[in-house]
Structure 1
Amino acid sequence: MHGWLDNCASFDGIAANVDADILCLDLAGHGLSGGRQHLGAYNVWLDLPEILAIADQLGWQTFELLGHSRGAAIAFLLAATFPKRVERLVCLDGIFPLMGTAEKAPEQLFHSINTVRKQRLRPVHYYPTFEAAVAARQKGMFPLSPDDAIAFANRAVSKSANGYAWQYDPKVSAPSELRLTMAQLSAFADAIVCPLTLFIADKGILSGDEQLLTFLNKYPAWEKRYLVGDHHCHMSAQANAIAQWLNDIDGIEI
């Protein structure tokens, strides 16, 4: 499961080198998947029943989860909520949903609803060429290499009479209506029973998060592995290394 504003091309490099079946999803509102027909934000817990429905359709009573960033947060919640169905959890430079406090809940809800309203009215941004759309993605919140940006664009940039545009539901840019508190997050963490491995990129979003790293120390059974690279290093830069690690796990079925 991929990260925010990404798509299943996030795992092209890993999938090509893993000696097992791997199903890569375009999560709702991303890539070639349709958007949700509601007026709310894309809360990560909304993905859980959709992923379970896919597993049910495939006849998978149990399965393993591999998630990056936002996708890792979705996988974390799924492993905690349905522990009997998840055999292993692998998180790539992400693990928890964004946290909040009870005191800021009204402000969070207000911000989410207002952002959704604005995003629904936002005009589509068109680029004159495919290359211009790729260049814009390279300079996003998390910079990408040209090859990685092209991989995303091949699955998410559409052409029309107006030019080239990135396809995603604009509502995915809105923050969640509510955020889990530390106490709630701890309850989910305590509910995970499967083996958990977290890959942390040295230039990613987790390496400097002292609160997160302190929290992780409460769960010594969770394996932490470190990678050289940025938030998307699991794509071109470290795809082979991660795939090799996955292949070395006895009996892995992703």
Structure 2
Amino acid sequence: MNTQMEEVRLSLGHVELAGHLFGPADGVPVIALHGWLDNANSFALLAPKLRGLRILALDLAGHGHSGHRPAGAGYALWDYAHDVLRAAEQMGWERFALLGHSLGAIVSVVLAGSLPERITRLALIDGVIPPTSGPQDAAERMGMALQAQLRLDSKRKAVHPTLEQAIQARMKGLVAVSREAAELLAQRGLMPVPGGYTWRSDSRLTLPSPTRLSEAQALSFVQRVACPAMLVVAADGMLARHTALLEQLPFTREVLPGGHHLHMNDESGATLVADCFNRFFGIP
């Protein structure tokens, strides 16, 4: 196990990203992408257990210590994919593997399907394609998103009087996490403000998407993936009930006990996921 970690900052021109570097300098290049409203500490338990990999765990734009996008910009999947390519350029990596959880797994599939020649391996945790919808919903969804954008200016972020209350709130969030996971996310995600603490994440991350892909469009990215791919499905997570989708995937699958954040909720979950991915990467 390699527990050494280095804090890094990458200036991509259009945004500055922060992150962690794990593993030996000559290890297999891997870019790790966390889930929605999480940050690079999502991989703090898992990354040190992965052998022979040089892992760049990013704070995605708008999350953690990374910069927020300029006024008027948004957080579309393809914007994240572009950021990853720019980060790879900064690292000098022409070809690299992707390790993604939830939103990060979706971005990984989008990138691996768009530019299959750039991606060497795809390691996914409880995420694969974005939520989809039919064409009949397009206009209504766009209207809902535009209204939400207009209302955002009048909203203020929640301020938690104490660090403990902020951690408790994260534990009970839209997707519940363990205390250990909430504390890890709080280390990079919270900042002090008058009256207590608030989350660093850009408020625009909570806006609904103005457009959604059809299922056929989303699966077209899956179908163009050319590298070996493994999907870890959390038994109590968000994918397990989507059996029809899972049966369409040409990826190796492993169902493991635990919830959506199984790789960071505790050491035992991180160990189970690491065992899968160490076998997948085939590094002794």
Which category describes the TM-score, using the shorter chain as reference length?
A: over 0.9
Using the TM superposition, give the Cα deviation of residue 27 of structure 1 relative to its aligned residue in structure 2, in angstroms: 0.3
> Per chain length, whose mean CA-contact separation is higher, i.e. which structure has more relative contact order (CA < 8 Å, sep 6+)?
1
> Are the counterparts in 2 of residues 116 and 174 from structure 1 also a CA contact under 8 Å?
yes
Distance 1:170 1:87, change over 3 A: same
Q: CA offsets, 1:216-236, max 9 Å, x none?
A: 3234x4111001011111112
Aligned partners of 1:151, 1:45: CA distance in 2, in Å?
27
Does 2:271 align with 1:240?
A: yes
Distance, in Å, in 2 between the alignment partners of 1:8 and 1:28 is 11
Q: Which amino acid aligns with 1:25?
A: L
The answer for unaligned runs of 5 or more in structure 2 is 1-32
* Matches for 1:182-221 after TM superposition, within 5 Å: 182-209=215-242, 213-219=243-249, 221=250
After superposition, the CA RMSD in angstroms is 1.5
Q: Paired residue for 1:80, among 96, 107, 113?
A: 113
Residue aligning to 2:50 = 18
Greater fraction of residues in strand: 2
What are the Cα deviations for residues 118-143 of structure 1, in whole angstroms up to 9, with x where unaligned?
A: 23331121111111100100110111
CA shift, 1:111, in A, is: 1.4
TM-score, normalised with respect to structure 1: 0.93
1:38, 1:160 → 2: CA distance? 22
> Residues 1-254 of structure 1 correspond to what in structure 2 (within 5 A)?
1-19=33-51, 20-209=53-242, 213-219=243-249, 221-235=250-264, 236=266, 237-250=268-281
Deviation at 1:40, TM superposition (A): 5.0
Amino acid in structure 2 at the alignment position of 1:247: N
Q: TM-score, normalised by structure 2?
A: 0.83
SS of corresponding position for 1:90: strand
SS at match of 1:21: strand
Taking the aligned partners of 1:128 and 1:232, their CA distance within structure 2 comes to 26
Alpha-carbon distance change, 128 to 9 in structure 1, aligned in 2, over 3 angstroms: same
List runs of 5+ in structure 1 lacking aligned partners.
none
- Judge which range, 243-252 or 120-129, deviates more: 243-252
Q: How many residues align?
A: 248
List per-residue Cα deviations over 1:176-205 (Å, max 9, x = no partner).
111110221232222111111111111100
CA distance in 2, matches of 1:250, 1:51: 20
Question: In the superposition, relative to structure 1, how do residues 234 and 120 fare at CA in structure 2: closer, same or farther (>3 Å)?
Answer: farther
Counterpart AA for 1:192: V
Cα contact 1:126–1:163 (8 A) shared by 2: yes
Code of the aligned partner of 2:190 = V
Q: 2:145, 2:71 → 1: CA distance? A: 13
